[in-house]
Chain A
Amino acid sequence: MEPSQTHWVEIHPLIVRVTHWINAFAILIMVTSGWRIYNASPLFPFRFPNEITLGGWLAGALQWHFAAMWLLVLNGLVYVTYGIVSGHFRRKLFPLWPRAVLHDVLEALRGKLAHDDLSMYNAAQRAAYLAIIFCLVVLVFTGLAIWKPVQFQQLAGIMGGYEGARFLHFGAMALMVFIALVHIVMVILVPRSFPTMITGRARRTS
């Protein structure tokens, strides 16, 4: 190794990296199997192409969905607990001002948003990551209401009952998938951010 002015700093703790990828895997299973379940009784006049769904048929999709839900929830609990207790959320995702979010989103749309320091999230990123966490929380609770509309009928009640929970579950899925796709596009546009979520390290010139 020849001496240089650049050095590596850890910007993503191990627990964040591990839970990020487990979450990505669980979401992939939940979404693709969920689309197959949706196809059995569509809420809207369209179906998802079976080729991009998981499970092969309704029973298979349900098996995947109700197996991966444990992975999603347990992993999510580890991440959220860590995020709150360690101060990770407070440091990385806050403060969050609506004006700053609007400004950064517009900048991003113009292709001007700077993301030089990978250890700092801009306002658009903070909003996006918080929105994904929010969507997942809504997905888990609407999912519980759909799974157990009798046992958890108070929970289902605040969501407009069983049928209301189905629509909310779909809406939260759609919003989460949209944000996740934007997230993936952004990673493609800023490719050096990708390895940092694996190694945890970013190059910094001093």
Chain B
Amino acid sequence: MKKRSMTTSLADHSPRLIRSIERRLFLKQGLSLGTLALLSGCELTDDEGVQKVLTGMSRWNDRVQGWIFNPNRLAPEYPESAMTKPFPFNAFYGEDEVTLVDGNSYKLEVEGLVREKRPWTLPELYALPQTSQITRHICVEGWSAIGKWSGVRFSDFLARIGADTTARYVGFECADDYSTSIDMATALHPQTLLTFRFADQILPPKYGFPMKLRIPTKLGFKNPKHIMAMFVTNEYPGGYWEDQGYNWFSGS
């Protein structure tokens, strides 16, 4: 091949050669992008543009899960022999830091789009018709455990307080500074229970005394413990884990 002079312009080259060079450059850039992705998965996730896409996809998945959710589909129930013993403790803090709530002075605050906003004492709540379920608790981490919870059907309680069930969300504030919120369809599901007992005993502090909202159609972190206040709203309330990037709907 004849040595090319330094003044050769691009026009002297065949379009095919240029295309081939462009392709190589494109490939090289593509490969380095891939290497970057491999080397710094953590920083990649923190990148503003990437995070925007991921958050957008999570919102999209909220909608898809809302469509998939069948209000009449029941979570499988199990016999007492299937119960996991001991049932695992789980929270955003250690078991020795469990919040102790005084049952005598306890009052559940009810706020937002409800007719009757008066607070509820424990004896009043215990006096409501109770039901039980033995269902699988599935943690967002992947593990699962079967437990027995007893309490008031949440849809009955919402009817009793005159909640606007056309509203979009029910939010919860907890004694351990935890918070979460759920969609109204799940709140009205027949297996969503406001529970006061675990394995036929009054809820011990580590399982959420005085009450835990048990939702077998959602992941464990959507089941708030030590509930102090609940509210019905049309404004997205978020939650402790949800605000940090966990998927809001998190249905199972």
Q: Report A's interface with B, CB cutoff 8 A.
A: 1, 25, 28, 32, 37-38, 40-41, 52-56, 58-60, 62-64, 66-67, 70, 147-151, 153, 161-163, 166, 198-199
Contacts and interface: CB of A to CB of B under 8 A. Distances in A.
Contact of A151 (B41, B54, B70, B138): B70
B41 A55 contact: yes
B69 interface: yes
Contact of B46 (A56, A70, A147): A56
Contact of A149 (B45, B246, B252): B252
Tell me the interface secondary structure of chain A in the complex: helix
Interface stretch (B101-109, B139-147, B164-172, B199-207): B139-147
Interface stretch (B2-10, B55-63, B117-125, B223-231): B55-63
Nearest to A146: B142
Contacts of B11: none
Interface of B: 14, 23, 27, 34, 37-38, 41-42, 44-46, 53-55, 57-58, 61, 68-70, 73-76, 136, 138-144, 216-217, 241, 244-247, 251-252
Max count, chain B CB within 10 A of own CB: residue among A54, A60, A62, A166: A60
Contacts of A153: 73, 75-76
A70 B142 contact: no
A148 B73 CA distance: 12
A148 B252 contact: yes
B53 A41 contact: no
A198 B20 CA distance: 12
24 contacts: A28-B38, A32-B41, A41-B141, A41-B142, A41-B143, A54-B41, A54-B44, A55-B41, A55-B45, A58-B141, A59-B245, A60-B45, A63-B58, A64-B45, A66-B57, A148-B68, A150-B74, A150-B75, A150-B216, A150-B252, A151-B217, A151-B252, A153-B76, A198-B27
Contacts of B23: 198-199
Contacts of A198: 23, 27
Nearest to A156: B76
A166 B244 CA distance: 25
Max count, chain A CB within 10 A of own CB: residue among B14, B246, B251, B252: B252
Nearest to B241: A59
A66 B70 contact: no
Contacts of B41: 32, 53-56
B66 to A, nearest CB: 11
B57 A67 contact: yes
Contacts of B53: 67
Contacts of B143: 41
Contact of B140 (A32, A58, A199): A58
A206 B76 CA distance: 66
Nearest to B42: A56
Contacts of A32: 38, 41
Contacts of B58: 63, 66-67
A162 B219 CA distance: 13
Contacts of A25: 34
A148 B57 contact: no
B45 A41 contact: no
Contacts of B136: 149, 162
A63 B45 contact: yes
A163 B252 CA distance: 13
A166 B45 contact: no
Contacts of A67: 53-54, 57-58
Nearest to B30: A21
Contacts of A53: 41
5 closest Cβ pairs, A-B complex = A41-B142, A67-B57, A59-B245, A56-B42, A54-B41
A162 B140 CA distance: 13
B142 A149 contact: no
A52 B41 CA distance: 8
B68 A40 contact: no
A59 B247 CA distance: 8
A162 B246 CA distance: 20
Contacts of B245: 59-60, 63
Given A55-B41, A67-B57, A163 B140 contact: no
